[in-house]
């Protein structure tokens, strides 16, 4: 079932999403060589609780796998769902994806950024730029009357025009009273459902773009997805409302 949110519900979602944007902005300032991914996770959880919200990812279950942390921290070839650890230390030249969500008063917000750690390669900088632009292209297509496939096409076309691969195994999604709701929002043009966009829908748009192949595999921890060729990957995400006046990005700081 695809939900269309009332004005009151959108206000609640704005509050949850604003918390996500603010905390991600604060985490961005902490990213530097020498910090552990566990330390980033600790700050994310502390700030979430201080804000009066609850971590959205901690305790999230897929089958028997339960995610143990507040933050997903994915480094270099890790596409999504990298698990924080005191043993994972950011190094000069890495790129790191921070994926973060909260629930506040029963409504979810979800967003992700990828950023350089110190000075990075031209390839890494270009991949980050193109992935961010792919997100922007997808958001632009969130217009009443368009279809999900219009969003997917905009993302895929931009990323692939720069020679990059677009991940198929993970997709964007509806968001609201659950973290993942219908409809799915692929970052590529597929043959699945293609619903029309209507006012009140809220979607998490999240391109995952790779320097090489789009193929991924999940590590033995049951969560961390990496590129099969171990080349770099980047990930950006915003929760966005479809309104009569165009897309409203809810997870801006």
Check which CATH number belongs to the domain holding 222 and give it. 3.90.230.10
pLDDT at 185 over 90: yes
Task: Say if 42 falls within a structural domain.
Answer: yes
Q: Which domain holds residue 113?
A: 7-249
Dump pLDDT digits (tens) for 192-222. Answer: 889 999 999 999 999 999 999 999 999 999 9
Whether 41 maps to a domain, the answer reads yes
Q: Write the DSSP assignment of 109-170 as a string of letters.
A: EEEEEEEESSS--HHHHHHHHHHHHHHHHHHHT--TT-BHHHHHHHHHHHHHHTT-EE-SSS
3-class DSSP assignment, residue 101:
strand
Average pLDDT, the chain: 97
| Domain assignment of residue 159, yes or no | yes
- The C-alpha atoms of residue 18 and residue 229 are separated, in whole angstroms, by 36
Can you give the pTM of this predicted structure? 0.97
The total domain count for the chain is: 1
Domain assignment of residue 2, yes or no: no
Give domain status of residue 1, yes or no. Answer: no
Q: Report if residue 55 sits inside a domain.
A: yes
Segment 16-31, tens digit of pLDDT: 999 999 999 999 999 9
């Amino acid at each position: 079932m695809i939900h269309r949110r009332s004005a009151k519900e959108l206000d609640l979602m704005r509050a949850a999403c604003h918390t996500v944007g603010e905390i991600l902005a604060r985490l961005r300032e902490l990213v530097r060589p020498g910090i552990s991914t566990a330390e980033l996770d600790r700050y994310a959880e502390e700030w979430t609780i201080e804000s009066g919200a609850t971590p959205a990812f901690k305790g999230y279950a897929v089958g028997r796998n339960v995610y143990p942390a507040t933050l997903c921290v994915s480094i270099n070839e890790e596409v999504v769902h990298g698990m924080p650890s005191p043993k994972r230390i950011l190094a000069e030249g890495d790129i790191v994806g921070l994926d973060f969500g909260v629930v506040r008063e029963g409504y979810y917000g979800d967003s992700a950024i990828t950023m350089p750690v110190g000075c990075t390669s031209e390839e890494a900088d270009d991949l980050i730029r193109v992935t961010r632009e792919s997100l922007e292209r997808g958001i632009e297509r969130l217009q009443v009357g368009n279809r999900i496939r219009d969003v997917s096409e905009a993302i895929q076309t931009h990323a692939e025009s720069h020679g990059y691969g677009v991940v198929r195994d993970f997709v964007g999604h509806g968001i609201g009273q659950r973290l993942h709701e219908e409809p799915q929002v692929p970052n590529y043009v597929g043959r699945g459902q293609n619903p029309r966009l209507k006012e009140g829908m809220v979607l998490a748009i999240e391109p995952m773009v790779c320097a090489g192949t789009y193929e991924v595999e999940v590590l033995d921890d049951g969560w961390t997805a990496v590129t099969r060729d171990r080349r770099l990957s980047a990930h950006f995400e915003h929760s966005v409302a479809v309104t009569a006046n165009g897309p409203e990005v809810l997870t801006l700081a």
